[in-house]
Structure 1
Amino acid sequence: MNEAALKPAAGASALLTADDVVAAARRIAGAVVRTPTFHSQTLSAITGAEIYLKFENHQFTAAYKERGALNAMLQLSDEQRAKGVIAASAGNHSQGLSYHGTRLGIPVTIVMPKTTPVVKVMQTEAVGGKVVLEGESFDEASAHARKLETELGLTFVHPFDDPQVAAGQGTVALEMLEDVPDLEVLAIPVGGGGLASGMGTIARALRPDIKLIGVEAELYPSMYNLLKQADCPIGGDTLAEGIAVFEPGKFTSQVLGDLLDDFVLVNEHQIERALALLLQIEKTVVEGAGAAGLAAVIANPELFAGGKVGIVLSGGNIDTRLLANVLLRDLARSGRAARLRLVLADRPGSLFRVSKVFYDHNVNIIEIVHQRVFTSLPAKGLATEIECEARDAVQLDALITALRAEGFEVSMMESR
């Protein structure tokens, strides 16, 4: 790292400086994984930009959140360390804080809503955190954490709205620019804004001409609304739960207001597509928030075309059943998997005729379901649902055309 190259960012906020990020990098060195930044030839060809991926899903707790949590804890006084820290989180912050707190001998208490999935509670406890379940919502859990902070004399470590936390997260971009000094654009996931504040601050100092693009889930455009003076609705079930924030940070919003060149929203289909591509092409598992940067590049090619684009894969903590569902949905959208509904006469040989068409077109049948009772068809009618696997959409369309040519009524059970 060439520290002499550091320059104050244009419009830089005194709330967070490049020196803060550099100091954080020295502080946490050796205690977090120095994750790689790799060029992706295939994703570059798909997107029309030169894509460089930062694999923060390779951290011990599978997320960048360790960096900020550790940087904050390393600046505690001896008295604060002895009493311990507390946070309200049901996500990656809770694991990063618990893991490094245990390493440093600092007691960590995490308050989670009672509705938190058991697996998240177990993951936090597995790395040494003490979990307190309180309230039906995150706001209620956070209020209880603040109450315990006062009652027990604990130090509250905010998941994003804290300069020390944001400085730690900024070390992600510091490493990226050490590995690829001529990056031209960063596509940064934004929830509360801690990662984008830290990354943007150091990136703008090292490369004043770099473009900084914030990326938020379309269902949770809280920072987007604030900075763009928009009024998009907020709420819903998003795959990108790691950046699903109702209220953006007060400190981080001030920093990002001076930093970001643009801000884009990505929808659920775009996030799912990016997640599936990362698994299929890069053989790496990311959570929804971790796929947001790539989703933005795919959805907004005009913003990134031809540029050297840095994307942080911010985390890899995703439920395996959810991951399987996302991959299957992607197969269906791409035409490689489908569930077809056929109406045929309930007589010998009907299913054989159908199967022969599948055989002739080399489409694999995965499952067949007959329905004779719960249907509005005549008594001699038969509804058959066939789940199948094709090479691509062209092969699937040819199969459907051939089935109809044989006189079968065919419809898709899921839209592509």
Structure 2
Amino acid sequence: MTVTLDDIRAAAERIRGHVVETPLVRDEALSARLGQPVWLKCEYRQTTGAFKLRGATNAILSLPPAALARGVVTASTGNHGRALAHAARALDVPATVCLSRLVPENKVQAIRDLGAAVRITGASQDEAMQEVARAVAQQGMTEIPPFDHQAVVAGQGTIGLEIGTPEAVLVPLSGGGLAAGIAVAVKALSPGTRVIGLTMENGAAMAASLAAGRPVEVAETASLADSLGGGIGLQNRVTFPLCRDLLDEVILLTEAEIAQGIRHLGRAGHVVEGAASVGAAALLAGKVVPQGPTVIILSGANIDPALHARIMAEAA
């Protein structure tokens, strides 16, 4: 199972009018510091505060009426659940979101506010996925996974149609839906562009799986980049092979480096979550050295305001 540029172009037509084409903003401080233009793809300005709305919307709009009538269900670390709840409400489709106890309360409440049923179970996304399996088996609901799904990946890949042909694209890496989708689009349009996946040092399932050459389980741990947590699924069929074949590099970041990325972006007026800061963090830490125009994907804004204020104060 794979995703093509044609799939992504079809997704772009399908979701047009349902999502925002977010702006590309130059980061003047990073550009001056690094001697190369650095651009921020402000996907955190999406309607639900994260890129996930693209994939969730494309997936729902791809379903037949009978499946929609039975309702949709997913597991999420927060942002996909919020996106699915939003898309489902817009189309009057019942939605259930299964979350682990690690998901921050602000993200849980945002999902509830959109009218979705919330089930909190277990201490990992893998355990939340077990609850999804029960909902599918016992209630006949239609699963829309957070990443390992062709329509979801194609929807996320529409971002890759909006960023031009830079020398490098820095993409947050979790289950791989965002990284795989962008990589498919970018590599088809600009084969020489480097697509670099970025994640946290601890609990990064896709990074561990790519290193092992197969999907593996990892212990899920708390991180400032909480939405990059969770497993990729041992039966992963879509995102693991795409990330394996298309990503040029995967880079791990410490919690201190992620916090520095949050602070840098906050000073520039971009209030984003830890997962969205990893591109800036990698450049600031010297773990990525740009060789030409570089695009950072600012994936989401759903950070707890008190946590963001605390991180910003640490720079004082």
TM-score, normalised via structure 1 length = 0.71
Q: Which residue of 1 aligns with 2:208?
A: 225
Correspondence 1:194-273 to 2 at 5 A: 194-229=177-212, 235-247=220-232, 249-273=236-260
CA RMSD, 1 decimal: 2.0
Q: Which residue of 2 aligns with 1:363?
A: none
Q: Which residue of 1 aligns with 2:167?
A: 184
* Structure number, greater radius of gyration: 1
Specify the SS of the correspondent of 1:279. Answer: helix
Quote the Cα distance in structure 2 between the aligned partners of 1:228 and 1:49.
Answer: 30
Quote the Cα distance in structure 1 between the aligned partners of 2:274 and 2:15.
Answer: 26
The partner residue of 1:93 within 80, 101, 104 is 80
Query: CA, structure 1 residues 185+117, in 2 after alignment: closer, same or farther (shift >3 Å)?
Result: closer
Q: Deviations over 1:188-232 (max 9, x none)?
A: 110000000000000000111111111111112322222234999
Specify the SS of the correspondent of 1:208. Answer: coil
For the 8 Å contact 1:49–1:304, the answer to whether it is kept is no
Q: Which residue of 1 aligns with 2:307?
A: 322
Query: CA, structure 1 residues 226+112, in 2 after alignment: closer, same or farther (shift >3 Å)?
Result: closer
Quote the Cα distance in structure 2 between the aligned partners of 1:211 and 1:241.
Answer: 25
Query: CA, structure 1 residues 198+233, in 2 after alignment: closer, same or farther (shift >3 Å)?
Result: closer
For the 8 Å contact 1:71–1:165, the answer to whether it is kept is yes
For the 8 Å contact 1:189–1:214, the answer to whether it is kept is yes
For the 8 Å contact 2:107–2:302, the answer to whether it is kept is no
Quote the Cα distance in structure 2 between the aligned partners of 1:116 and 1:235.
Answer: 11
Deviation at 1:330, TM superposition (A): 2.6
Bigger strand share = 1
Deviation at 1:25, TM superposition (A): 0.5
For the 8 Å contact 1:50–1:306, the answer to whether it is kept is no
The partner residue of 1:313 within 279, 298, 304 is 298
For the 8 Å contact 1:16–1:163, the answer to whether it is kept is yes
1:292 counterpart = 2:304: no
Q: Deviations over 1:76-106 (max 9, x none)?
A: 1010111110011241001100001000111
Specify the SS of the correspondent of 1:196. Answer: helix
Amino acid at match of 2:280: L
Specify the SS of the correspondent of 1:330. Answer: coil
Larger relative contact order (C-alpha < 8 A, sep ≥ 6)?
Answer: 2
Amino acid at match of 2:274: G
Query: CA, structure 1 residues 212+113, in 2 after alignment: closer, same or farther (shift >3 Å)?
Result: closer
Query: CA, structure 1 residues 236+122, in 2 after alignment: closer, same or farther (shift >3 Å)?
Result: closer
Quote the Cα distance in structure 1 between the aligned partners of 2:6 and 2:161.
Answer: 11
Question: Among the aligned pairs, what percent are the same residue?
Answer: 36
Quote the Cα distance in structure 1 between the aligned partners of 2:263 and 2:203.
Answer: 21
For the 8 Å contact 2:79–2:107, the answer to whether it is kept is no
Q: Which residue of 1 aligns with 2:31?
A: 44
Q: Deviations over 1:119-157 (max 9, x none)?
A: 333210111211123345433322112111111111001
The partner residue of 1:60 within 44, 47, 50 is 47
Q: How many pairs are equivalent?
A: 312
Query: CA, structure 1 residues 98+275, in 2 after alignment: closer, same or farther (shift >3 Å)?
Result: same
Deviation at 1:16, TM superposition (A): 1.1
For the 8 Å contact 1:47–1:298, the answer to whether it is kept is no
Q: Which residue of 2 aligns with 1:304?
A: 289
Specify the SS of the correspondent of 2:309. Answer: helix
Quote the Cα distance in structure 2 between the aligned partners of 1:290 and 1:117.
Answer: 16
Quote the Cα distance in structure 2 between the aligned partners of 1:185 and 1:321.
Answer: 33
Q: Which residue of 1 aligns with 2:20?
A: 33
The partner residue of 1:280 within 264, 267, 276 is 267
Correspondence 1:77-226 to 2 at 5 A: 77-113=64-100, 116-177=103-164, 182-226=165-209
For the 8 Å contact 1:67–1:168, the answer to whether it is kept is yes
Query: CA, structure 1 residues 29+20, in 2 after alignment: closer, same or farther (shift >3 Å)?
Result: same
Runs of 4 or more, structure 1, over 6 Å off, are: 230-233
Specify the SS of the correspondent of 2:163. Answer: helix
Specify the SS of the correspondent of 1:195. Answer: helix
Deviation at 1:70, TM superposition (A): 0.4
Quote the Cα distance in structure 2 between the aligned partners of 1:114 and 1:77.
Answer: 33
Amino acid at match of 1:105: D
Q: Deviations over 1:160-194 (max 9, x none)?
A: 111110110011111112xxxx4111111100000
For the 8 Å contact 1:221–1:232, the answer to whether it is kept is no
TM-score, normalised via structure 2 length = 0.93
Quote the Cα distance in structure 1 between the aligned partners of 2:270 and 2:156.
Answer: 21
Amino acid at match of 1:71: N
Structure 2: 5+ residue stretches without partners: none
Query: CA, structure 1 residues 233+72, in 2 after alignment: closer, same or farther (shift >3 Å)?
Result: closer
Quote the Cα distance in structure 2 between the aligned partners of 1:147 and 1:318.
Answer: 30
